[in-house]
Amino acid sequence: MKSGKLIGLIVVCVFMISISFSFTADAKEFKFGQILAMTGSGSWYGMTMERGTGIAIEEINAAGGVKGYNFSYVVEDHKSGLTTPAQNAFRKLTSIDKVSAILSSFSAPTLSIMSMAEQKKIIVFNGGASSPKLMNIPFLHNTRMLGDEILPFTLKYLWDKGYRTMATIYANQTAPISLNDAGKKYWESLGGKVVSEQMHETGATDFTSEASVIKAKNPDIILCPSTGLDVGYVIKAVRKMGIKAPICGTEHSGDMEKVTGDASEGYLFASEFFDVNSDDPWTKTFVAAFKKKFNEDPDFYAANYYELTYILKELVTRVVDKGGDPYDGSLLEKAIWDNPKFKSIYGGYMKFKENGTCEKPVVLFEIKGGKPMVIKKRSG
Amino acid sequence: MGLFLQLLTRGIITGSLYALLGVSWGIIYNTTRTFHFAHGFIYTFASYSILVFTWMSVPLIPSLLLGLFTATLAGCAVEYFAYLPMRKKSASQLSIFLTAMGIMIAGQSLIHLVFGPDSRPLEGFPEHVISLGTVTFTTVDLFTVLLCWIVIVCLFAFLGHTKAGMMIRAVSSNPEKATFIGIDSRRIFVLVFGIGSLLVGIAAFLSTIDKPATPNIGLGALLISFITVFLGGVGRLGGAVLGGIILGIAESLVIMVLPTEYKMMVIFLILFLVVLIKPEGLLGKKIA
Amino acid sequence: MLLEVRNLDVGYQGKQVVFGASLRVDAGEFVALIGHNGAGKTTLLKTICGYLKTGSGDVRYRGEDIRNLSPAVNVKKGLVFVHQEKSLFPNLSVLENLQLAAYAIGKAYNLEQRLKEVYRIFPILKDREKQMANTLSGGQQKQLAVGMAILVEPQLLLLDEPSLGLSPNLVKDLGNVLKEISNMGTAILLVEQNVKMAISLAQRIYVMRTGQIILEDTHENMMKRESLWDLF
Amino acid sequence: MEYLAHTLNLAFIFVILTVSLNLILGYGGMASMAHAAFFCIGGYISAIVTMNLGCNFLIGVLTAIIATAAVGGALSAPFIKVQEEYLILFTIAFQMVVYHLMLSLYNITGGDSGIFGVPAASLFGYTADTPARFLPFMAAFLFIVYYVAFKITKSPFGRVLKGIREDEKAVSSLGKNVIKFKVIIFMVGTGIAAGAGGVFAHYTRFISPTIGSLDQSILIIAMVVLGGTANLGGSALGAFLLIIIPEVLNFLPGASDLIVPLRGFIYGALLIFFMRFRPEGLIPEYFHLRSRKRTLPGARTGKQPADDCLHFSMTSEEKMFNRTGPILEVKNLSKSFGGLRAVDNFFMSLDKGKITALVGPNGCGKTTAFNLVTGFLKPDKGQIHFAGKEITNLPAYKMPHIGIARSWQDIRIFQGMTVMDNLLLARQSQAGESVIRLFIMPWRVRREEEENIKKAFFYLSSMGLAEKGSEIARNLSYAEQKLLAIARLLATEAEILLLDEPSSGVDPNWVKQFMQIIRGLAASGKTICIVEHNLDLVRGVSDTVYFMAEGQKIAQGTAEQLMADPKLGEIYFGV
């Protein structure tokens, strides 16, 4: 033991000392942290989110930074939803990189750092997860609307088209579970009937037996509020079983399209409206920059993190204008409430709400010809 | 009844693929008694090799063959360069297992590094829905089942009727005697790793038609592979086939009695109970 | 001289089992090695065939030093070892067991011819050709094991207690078969606990006790002994 | 610095986990793939208890330890008997079932988002709400765990575990219930893991199923194997390295979408590298910076082995049997394997203070009869009486306790242990073999240990091995190892000694010495039964010889009588 622990301790100390010298924040730099899914099953999300942030930073720095501060970020990996790596990342970001703001994603990793964030007054933004558990937590702000607020929009549309029975299939995660409850309640309040409810394992890929059950119940519509690739596999399985009923949900991504292929045709989902073909000049420059760099259209996750970077820029501006230090997270937090309306990449403005969520324009999409097409809009 | 038949059909389709995965791992484990955790990496590797060839505009069938070939080589290389030297040093099962895990982690990361985390679908395979009464499946399902069984039958024919097959069976049933009659077990081991990797490559191909490849697909395939083998019975390749079918059907039918979120758990619960009650597996011989 | 062992010491797992053993087998000769349990007979055989590599001393086969060769190589040189137990492949049929013995050598054999020869000596194997080896009775399994060995036309056959677990009748049959094999010109080194059988068959007998060869004598002299008790 | 403190806390938690897994894996010899599951269960229990009852975190952690250890105990009892690879499988299955349950029982566990806002650890008004403030708690917990683990592994209990890893059968032949020891060490290991989970939950103030996944279990195993099994220091080093390496890799410069998978690659490659070139771990079990020697009481006084070493004093317990006539009687004993009747209607009686030999051709059933009498096989039929009491179905490990001990043909001494430990392991009813008594009455354990060392030294001296007490058994010559085996047998202080082929593998001189020893033993009142092929030995020592063939006793008499019978010669030397 003696030898083992000694060697271990020496290793730790040497390495800690060496890094503490080499990694102190530059005074003229505003550095913030990101804790994203860089590896594991959700690594596609991490990639697209980081792309959004990266483009924003390039633009901001090209324009001379903010009040003399150059922007930069450090990305850490929560390995697609693991909490210990998220906590390690938090400790590293706050004590080595000395950040005061963190962009995070996924609900479990985000939740796992919030006790510490509150204590250390670090402002945390989540632009990915949409779990109701993320509401009403000090220092946490979500720039995604909660699905519960979005889902009725879709369901009403389908109700009006004359569909009456619904089957649901959703992942055993907090957000899908609450979405399923909300969707079910709303559908029943309209007078509809839920003929089958199935909860599935997160990350499963074979849903044909679940689809068989749905087929046997012959519902008018299918609700799948799962996230990630799960939705893609569900859609694929449902179509594979020859079920023609419309499928609706809350999630859509380019990666998911690769799973479904043609099967996603007709899939309906309501979401914050990010329109790549928008006439809004800001949106246009972002889409063009993204396309130039990555040779594909940005999705709304990229847009969310791009937007978040600009929100941070605005907050830093407000703090510095008042003579404050942007490395004080509580100042950033206060600065939000100076004016909770921020310019949005979605066009127009978005507004932070007291409960930690936000208001954004919502839109109902349908996949037509492999692309999401807007069929109904609701402004933020 | 309609639902039951439909679920049974699904179970058989999944089960066929599981059976193929099972024999691919089983032939390696039965012969070499190596807990080949890196099998999952070979699975991912095979998927990506096939994909890479299709991206180079090689037609589907030649891509498949080239991809399988590289996967086979990779499997042999793992045995020859990683396990064999350790076995020579008579390393413990556990340290071989950890080496295999190292290969799995490093390999998976390497694929991520080269190809990124995106889902990569294998395109160009026609998929049509076929309905027979209440039972629905697709052309891909049909192809999967057929190919799985053709491959499994070929494997058994190979093991049963060729010199090499006989030697493999000999080494797996009595390695010591095999040495005494002049069989070089090291070469047989490499051969067996090649065959197992070829088979898992075929399984990977069949799943990639249906589900896009990502760097992480290997672990799930690996879990199924060895659960199938231990369920059916170690030392009996037929056991792996039976185990695969049972697992596939159980996974599909369980939905009729239990909430679906317990589906994955049921697989492990079955394994748990089998190891508890009949640790030698369904077809295995009693352990002394 | 076909096989010559000189001053062989063998030990494993920290204990020495064979102490300075020397023996020889001439071409076509039938030699027996007897001794009680744990005397080191099997260890000696396993060392000769190349399975055990520890220890020191000289093992020469046809004048060549084979101390560093593996059993797989020695088999190809005509030095064949037949195990006490586990001497066949339980999940292979009788025919496959025999075929495999031929394939493993790698030489081109007139397999049909050799099979006929084996079946002539062990007719029961022909009847059981398609049966799995593990379904054979104990006696038949021994026959198969010896059959596999003689299929490859060995020059020297190392037999490790073939009579173990056989009924007296079967032991007698086995003795006759060994005699026949020996008459065909194959040299045999037989390790036996069934002392009477070994003495009656072999031309020369070595007696081993606690790791040492304590006595070497001819068939005739051994047969003349009044009591065997004092050998043990 | 906070990050340093956090990394240290994390490393400490993993040191605790590896130390506890090492108790199970390294010392208990059981590869558990479910350690992270127990860790996570502990975290949940502590979080739920403290949040619902509002009690101090210590109560939560204690509840977690006790409840999880109970679960571990119940779970381990059936699976401990299966082989290693099935054990891996069984624990993987358990791990996966627990993990999925934690995700699915979201009403209790919060599902994937876990439980947020677990109360911070506080004690006497000191609240550990930052990593630095938590460090003292963590260090204290680590110290306690390390102390417990150290104490256990260095105790008579640990000695038995070590013996079990070397040779389970030999340990049961010395009167230890192998299963019980394994279950207890499993419970201790899982209990500590659960405690770590509880502490971790209060440290991070959050608990979710992701810390209880299979990956985590594998990581912990990797740490133990990397560091070196059955070496507590190795565990600590392994944990430190595998926690620190990824953190160091965090500082690699470069584009993050490349660097993150690159980290994974380097981690995997390091694992391969370590396993390839140091498969026994960085600090293997027998790694010592300085060689240490235990001073033995006899060695201190320089006392030479007594000349009258073969005269053994009798303890009061032995006097109970101080009578003549048959002491062990076997009637009607039968045992079949498949169709083979290995032992068939076998009768035998051993007389007090006499030497009985069992002889017969190979496969006649001697060893089976021997195993039946010593409890290693269960008879199909028949009775065994010892001093008038029926002991027919008594398990093997209870035999030495009542006064019947056996030796093994292949000696089965514990090669990796010291000579002295070999003997100490043979002593019966040691308080130090109970984990609880180890901690609540250390004085008694210490006193007993001193007593046992004296006794052990006496028996060692009697075999002329007094000077070898601190040597590792495998360094002894084979003849000395055989003597050690006898000394170990004597150290059980059993009344009846059953010796299985004691003369195999040794030279005639040794046999002569040995004959003297057992004659001396018989003279001192021990009852002895030997199974033997060496007829010199049989002739030289035995009072009565049983001749067995085909599972039955076919003759009985003195050696000379039997060897004069030509019919027996026929049977013995074959046809």
CB C149 within 8 A of CB C82: yes
- With contacts defined as CB-CB under 8 Å, which chain D residues touch B97? 88
Distance from CA of B197 to the nearest CA of C (A): 24
Q: Write down the CATH number for the domain with range A28-144+277-347.
A: 3.40.50.2300
Pairing of strands D340-351, D126-128: unpaired
**Interchain pair C37, D533: CB under 8 A:** yes
Identify the pLDDT of residue D254: 62
Interface membership of D253 toward A (CB under 8 Å):
no
Decide if C104 touches B, using CB distance below 8 A: yes
Chain D residue closest in CA terms to B116 = D257
Say if the Cβ atoms of B95 and D82 lie within 8 Å: no
Q: What is the DSSP string of D66-107?
A: HHHHHHHHHHHHHHTTS-HHHHHHHHHHHHHHHHHHHHH-HH
Distance CA B197, CA B191 (A): 10
Nearest CA in chain A to D103: A172
Average pLDDT estimate for B156-166: 91
Write out chain A residues lying below 8 Å of B206, CB-based.
none
Residue-level length of chain D: 575
What CA–CA distance (Å, rounded) separates B53 from A322?
A: 59
d(CA D342, CA D371): 11
Is D456 exposed, middle or buried (CB count within 10 Å of its CB: 0-12, 13-18, 19+)?
Answer: buried
3-class SS at A222? Answer: strand
Residues of chain A with C-beta less than 8 angstroms from the C-beta of D150: 1
Mean pLDDT of chain B: 88
* Minimum distance, in Å, between the CA of residue C12 and any CA atom of chain D: 11
**CATH architecture of the region A148-272+364-377:** 3-Layer(aba) Sandwich (3.40)
Q: What is the mean predicted confidence (pLDDT) over C47-69?
A: 85
Residues of D in contact with C41 (CB under 8 A): none
Q: List strand residue ranges (DSSP E) for chain C, in order.
A: 3-12, 15-25, 30-34, 56-61, 64-65, 79-82, 156-160, 187-192, 204-209, 212-218
DSSP symbols for D500-544: ESTTTT--HHHHHHHHHHHHHHHHTT-EEEEE-S-HHHHHHH-SE
Query: What b/e string do you get for C29-57 counting C-beta neighbours within 10 Å, with b at 16 or more?
Result: bbbbbbbbbbbbbbbbbbbbbbbbeebeb
Chain C residues with CB inside 8 Å of D504's CB? 37-38, 210
More confident of the two residues B276 and B107: B107
Q: Do C14 and D563 touch (CB under 8 A)?
A: no
- The pLDDT score that the predictor gives to residue C30 is 92
Quick one: which H or E segment has residue D546?
Answer: strand D544-549
Interface residue A242 vs chain B (CB under 8 A): yes
- The Cα D438–Cα D421 span in angstroms is 18
- Interface check for A273 against chain B (CB to CB < 8 A): the answer is no
Strands (E), chain B: 129-132, 135-138
What sign does the dihedral A273-A277-A280-A285 (CA atoms) show? positive
Q: Between residues 108 and 127 of chain A, which touch chain D (CB distance below 8 Å)?
A: 108, 111-112, 114-116, 119
Q: Which of residues 64-93 of A touch D (CB under 8 A)?
A: 75-77, 81-84, 87-88, 91-92
Q: Do A258 and B120 touch (CB under 8 A)?
A: yes
Other Cβ atoms closer than 10 A to A354: 8
With contact defined as beta carbons under 8 Å apart, do A105 and A46 qualify? yes
Look up the ipTM and state it.
0.81
* Token pair in block for residue A196: 């089958």
Q: Cα(D274)–Cα(D234) distance, rounded to whole angstroms?
A: 13
The pLDDT assigned to B155 comes to: 95
> What would you report as the CA-atom Rg of chain C, rounded to the nearest whole angstrom?
17
User: Distances from the Cα of B284 to the Cαs of B230, B280, D435, D564, in angstroms?
Assistant: 9, 5, 39, 51
pLDDT string in tens for chain A (380-residue length): 444 444 555 555 555 544 444 444 445 788 899 999 887 777 888 889 999 999 999 998 888 888 888 888 888 888 888 888 888 889 888 888 888 899 998 888 898 899 888 888 899 999 888 777 888 888 999 888 877 778 888 898 999 999 999 999 998 888 888 889 889 999 999 999 999 999 888 888 888 888 988 988 899 999 999 888 889 999 999 998 888 899 999 888 878 888 888 888 889 988 877 878 888 888 888 999 999 998 888 888 899 999 999 998 888 888 888 888 888 888 888 888 888 888 888 877 888 888 888 888 888 889 888 888 888 877 65
- Could you give the CA distance from residue D396 to residue A19 in angstroms, rounded to a whole number? 60
Q: Which of these, A189, A115, A175, A188, lies nearest to A144 by C-alpha position? A: A175
Q: State residue D300's pLDDT score.
A: 38
- Rounded to whole angstroms, the Cα distance separating A277 from D368 reads 87
> How many C-beta neighbours within 10 Å does residue D393 have?
10
Question: Looking at the complex, does the CB of residue C105 fall below 8 Å from at least one CB of chain B?
Answer: yes
- Enclosing H/E stretch for A312: helix A300-321
Residue of A nearest to B256 (CA): A213
Q: Which residues of A touch D260 (CB under 8 A)?
A: 38-39, 43, 75, 77
CATH T-level fold of D307-415+477-573: Rossmann fold (3.40.50)
* CA separation for the pair D470, D6 (Å, rounded): 43
Convert D110-162 into a string of H (helix), E (strand) and C (coil). Answer: CHHHCEECCCCEEECCEEECCHHHHHHHHHHHHHHHHHHHHHHHCCHHHHHHH
**pLDDT at residue number A135:** 85
Cβ of residue B136 closer than 8 Å to a chain C Cβ: no
How far apart CA D381 and CA B152 sit, in angstroms, is 48
Beta pairing partners, A171: A200
Residue pair C203/C218 in contact (Cβ under 8 Å)? The answer is yes
| A-B contacts at Cβ under 8 angstroms | 91
Residue C63 has pLDDT above 80, yes or no: yes
Token reading at D279:
């498969």
Residues in chain A with CB shorter than 8 Å from the CB of D261 are: 38-39
Over 70: is that where the pLDDT of C128 sits? Answer: yes
Nearest to D395 by CA among D136, D119, D146, D173: D173
Phi then psi for D339, rounded to 5 degrees? -90, -10
Residues 6 or more apart in contact with residue A158 via CB below 8 angstroms: A220, A221, A246, A248, A268
Q: Which run of H or of E encompasses A156?
A: helix A147-160
Of C83, C88, C105, the CB nearest to B182: C105
Q: Can you give the residue ranges of every domain in chain A?
A: 28-144+277-347, 148-272+364-377
Shortest distance, CA B9 to any CA of chain D (angstroms) = 26
**D129 CA: distance to closest CA in chain A (Å):** 8
Has residue B126 got a pLDDT over 50? yes
Q: Which residues of C touch D473 (CB under 8 A)?
A: none
Q: Do A38 and D150 touch (CB under 8 A)?
A: no
The reply to whether residue C83 touches residue B180, judged by beta carbons under 8 angstroms, is: yes
- For chain A, the chains sharing at least 3 beta-carbon pairs closer than 8 angstroms are B, D
pLDDT at A7: 52
- A residues 305-324 near D, CB within 8 Å? none
In order along chain D (575 residues), what is the average pLDDT of each group of 10 residues?
A: 85 92 87 91 93 87 93 81 74 87 84 83 82 88 92 89 87 88 92 94 88 85 82 85 78 65 80 79 63 43 40 44 73 84 87 89 83 89 87 87 87 87 88 85 89 89 85 84 89 89 78 87 89 84 89 86 81 72
Contact present, B164 and B191 (Cβ < 8 Å): yes
Q: Which residues of D touch B98 (CB under 8 A)?
A: 221-222, 225-226, 271, 275
Q: Do D481 and C40 touch (CB under 8 A)?
A: no
Cα torsion through C8, C9, C10, C14, rounded to 10: -170
Domains and CATH numbers, chain C: 3-78+155-231 (3.40.50.300), 90-153 (no CATH)
Residue D475 is classified by DSSP as G
Check if A28-144+277-347 and A148-272+364-377 are the same fold: yes
Portion 110-149 of B in contact with D at CB < 8 A: 110, 112-113, 116
Q: Which burial class, exposed, middle or buried, applies to D343 when counting CB atoms under 10 A from its CB (0-12, 13-18, 19+)? A: buried
Domains of chain B are 2-277 (1.10.3470)
B179 CB neighbours in chain C (<8 A) are: 51, 70-72
Contact C148 B181 (CB under 8 A): yes
Give residue A11's pLDDT: 52
